[in-house]
Chains A and B, each alone.
Chain A
Amino acid sequence: MKHRLQFAGKKLIRMALLLLGVSIVTFLLMCASPLDPLQTNVGQVALGSMSPEQVARLEAYWGVDTPPVQRYLGWLGGVLHGDMGTSLLYRQPVLTVIGQRLANSVFLLLAVWVFSGILGLVLGVAAGAFRGKWPDRLIRGYCLLISSTPTFWLAILLLLIFSVWLGWFPIGLSVPAGVAADAVTFVDRIRHAVLPALTLSITGVANIALHTREKMIDVLESDYVLFARARGESETSVILRHGLRNVSLPAITLQFASVSEIIGGSVLVEQVFSYPGLGQVAVTAGLGSDLPLLLGITVITSAIVFAGNLIADLLYGAADPRIRRGAARE
C-alpha cells in the first residue's frame, strides 16, 4: 500500500510539472499568434471610428500593452490562489464557462468512451480469434478505412445523411433552438448528442479494435494457449478464459489512453455539429485571443488526460497479479 501511495505521489508531482509546461507552451503559442485581438474582436471599422483613449482602454482590456512575462506570471499567481481569471469574450469567470461547457460535453464524451471501448474490445477479440477468415477481414477492412478517414469529413457525411436527407436527427446544438431551458427534455439532449457521439465512436472503435486484435493474436500464439489446447480445452474456452483475460490488461491502458484522442477529436466534431461543448469553446477562445479561457481549457483537459493515465496505471497494478502480489510481498 505504501508502495502504491509513493507511486501516486510521484505521478502527481510529475502532473504538476506537466501542467506548468502545457500552460507555458499554450501561452507562447498565443503570443506568437498572428491574430490581433482588437481587430478580430472589435473589428477594423469600429476601431477606426474610436478615439485614442477608447483604443487604449481596449488594449488594456485585451492585455496587449502588458509585457508577456508579466502577463503570464500574473495568470500563474492567480491560478495558485485558485483563481483562473475571467474570460475576456464571455465576461464570466473562466471556471464558470468551462463548467457549463464541460457539463454539455461530459455526457457526450463519456458515452463515446464507454461505447467505443466495449465495442472495440469485442471487435478486436473477434477479429483476432477469426484471424484470416472473413469476420477478421471485414473488421480489419472497416478499421483501416475509418482510420484513414478524417474525423470532420465523417462528421459532415453523417450530418448530410441522417440530418439533411433522412431528417432523423437535428442539425446542430445540444438543445433545440428557441426553447426555454427548463422545457428541454432528456430525450432532446440525447437526440442532439447522437450524431456527434456516433462520429467519435466510429473513429474511436477502429483504433481500439486494431490494437486489441494484435494482442489477441499474440495471446493465441503463446505457449500457454498451446498448452491449454493440448490439455483439451475447447476453442471457446481458450478464447474466453485465456484470451479475454490476457487481452484485458493492455485494454485497460488502451482505454484510458483513448481519453486524449476522444477529447482531441471532440474539438473538430463539436465544431461541425455546432455542439456547444468544451471542444467548441476551445476553438472560439483560440481564434478570439481569449487568453485566460484558452489557458484554463488546456490546463483542465490536460489534467483530465493525465488523470486518465494515472487511473490506468493504478488499475493495472491492481489487476495484474504479478504487480499486486509482488508489491504485497515486499
Chain B
Amino acid sequence: MEPILEIEHMSVYFTQYERGIRRRVLPVIRDLTLSVEAGQIVAVVGASGSGKSLLAHGILGILPYNSHMEGEIRYAGEPLPRERSAELRGKEIVLIPQGVNYLDPLMKVGAQLRKGSRDEKVRERTSRALRRYGLSEETEEMYPFELSGGMARRVLIASAVTGIPRLIIADEPTPGLDVRAAKRILGHFRELADEGAGILFITHDLEQALTVADQVAVFYAGETIEVASAADFSDVENLRHPFTRAIWRAMPEHGFHPVSGTQPYPGSRETGCSFAGQCSASTETCRETDLIPLRECCGGMVRCLHPGKEASL
C-alpha cells in the first residue's frame, strides 16, 4: 500500500541568541525517518522533550518562527513544502491536540469549529461531526471552560472530522482520562483508520500505544531509534534497540523496572549515540561514530551499532 506520509532525514533546528549576540543553532530533531500508510495507526513513543510535538508541527508547517526544518516530507507521494501544508492543513491533514487549552477560551465551541464561516453547509457538517461523538447542539453554544475533560477531548476529535481527513496527527490525546475513557478515544482512532485515514499517534505511554497501533516508532532525544511492528512487542527478544528493551521492561506487566538516567538535553551532545550514556552495551565506537544511521534490521528499523543487546538494568 502507498504510504500517505513519508518522512526522510528530517531535522529541526532552533536558532537561539546567547547573551543577546552569540547565535546558537540547537538541533532538536535529528535525521528522523518515519512513514504512515493509509488505514494504519503508527504510534510515536518517546519521553517528554524528545521532540514529538515538533514533529507534528513540522508536518503541519506551523513550527515557530525561530526554527527551520531540513529533510524531505512527502504527502500522498508528493513533496510537502510549507505552502502545500498550509493548503492542506485543517482539511486533509488534521491535528488532534492534547486538551481543552487548545481551544480559544473566549469563543464558543461551534464558532471555533466553523472557523468563522457562516456557510449553512459548514454549520451542518460541524454539527454532524459533533453528533458523531455524542455531542448535542447545545455543545456548540458552550465555551471551552464549560466542557468536561472527556467532552473537550471529543470536541477536539470532532474538529478533525468536519471534513474527510486523510492524515490525522494526534498529539497526546488522552492524558488525564481514566482507562475506560482513554480506551473509548483510542477506539475512535481505530474507527477513523478503518475509514481509510492514516494516523500518527503521538504518546509517551508505550502500553497505550500497543493497544491500538500497527507500528511503533520509538523516539529518543529527537531521533527515531527504532521502528517495530506492534507484534514485535510480544517478546522482548524481538526488540532491536537497548532503549526499546528498557522501556519494555518499564511497563507494569513486565516488572516496572525504571529506565535509569535521563535523555540528554538537545544540543548538549556533539557526536555518537545519544543513548550511549545510559547503555551498558555501549562501546567506544558508540560514543565516537558521527551519526549512526537508521538501518533495516529483522523486519524493522534500528539506529544502533549492536542491535539486540540489553541496556543496563
- Measured CB to CB, the residues of A under 8 A from B are 131-132, 221-224, 226-233, 237, 241-242, 245-246, 249, 320-322, 325-326
Contact = CB atoms under 8 A, between A and B. Distances in A.
Interface stretch (B39-47, B90-98, B212-220): B90-98
B159 A321 contact: no
B145 A229 contact: no
B191 interface: no
A320 B106 contact: yes
18 contacts: A221-B64, A223-B101, A224-B105, A227-B103, A230-B90, A230-B94, A230-B95, A231-B95, A232-B90, A232-B115, A233-B115, A237-B116, A241-B107, A245-B104, A245-B107, A246-B106, A325-B143, A326-B145
A257 B46 CA distance: 47
B100 to A, nearest CB: 9
A320 B159 CA distance: 24
Contacts of B145: 321-322, 326
B106 A228 contact: no
Contact of B101 (A224, A230, A241): A224
Contact of B90 (A223, A233, A249): A233
A226 B103 contact: no
B89 interface: yes
Given A228-B115, A231-B90, 13 more contacts: A221-B64, A224-B101, A228-B112, A229-B60, A230-B89, A230-B95, A232-B115, A241-B107, A242-B107, A246-B106, A321-B145, A325-B146, A326-B145
Contact of B89 (A231, A245, A322): A231
Given A232-B91, A233-B115, A227 B97 contact: yes
List 8 A-B pairs, minimum CB-CB distance, nearest first: A232-B90, A230-B95, A227-B102, A231-B90, A224-B104, A321-B143, A223-B102, A229-B62
Nearest to B98: A223
Contact of A227 (B65, B91, B95, B143): B95
B62 A230 contact: yes
A222 B145 CA distance: 16
Contacts of A320: 106
A194 B66 CA distance: 44
B261 to A, nearest CB: 30
Contacts, number: 72
Given A231-B95, A321-B106, A325-B143, A241 B90 contact: no
A249 B101 contact: no
A224 B103 contact: yes
A233 B116 contact: yes
A229 B97 CA distance: 12
Contacts of B94: 230-231
Interface in B79-131: 86, 88-91, 94-95, 97, 101-107, 112, 115-116
A83 B104 CA distance: 52
Given A132-B65, A230-B89, A231-B94, A322 B143 contact: yes
Contacts of A249: 106
A224 B143 CA distance: 13
B82 to A, nearest CB: 12
A237 B90 contact: no
A223 B102 CA distance: 5
Contacts of B159: 231
Contacts of B105: 224, 246, 322
A231 B160 CA distance: 8
Contacts of A226: 57, 62, 97, 102
Contact of B115 (A131, A222, A231): A231
Contacts of B102: 223-224, 226-227
A222 B57 CA distance: 14
A229 B112 CA distance: 12
A224 B106 CA distance: 11
A245 B106 contact: yes
A221 B101 CA distance: 12
Specify which of A224, A233, A241 lies most central, judged by the most chain B CB atoms within 10 Å of its CB: A224
B60 to A, nearest CB: 5
Interface string B21-65: 000000000000000000000000000000000000100101011
Contacts of A325: 143, 146
Contacts of A131: 65
A79 to B, nearest CB: 43
Interface in B145-192: 145-146, 159
Nearest to B62: A229
B275 to A, nearest CB: 30
B55 to A, nearest CB: 13
B116 A242 contact: no
A254 to B, nearest CB: 17
Given A223-B97, A227-B97, A241-B116, A232 B104 contact: no
Contacts of B88: 232
A230 B60 contact: yes
Nearest to B159: A231
Specify which of B88, B106, B143 lies most central, judged by the most chain A CB atoms within 10 Å of its CB: B106
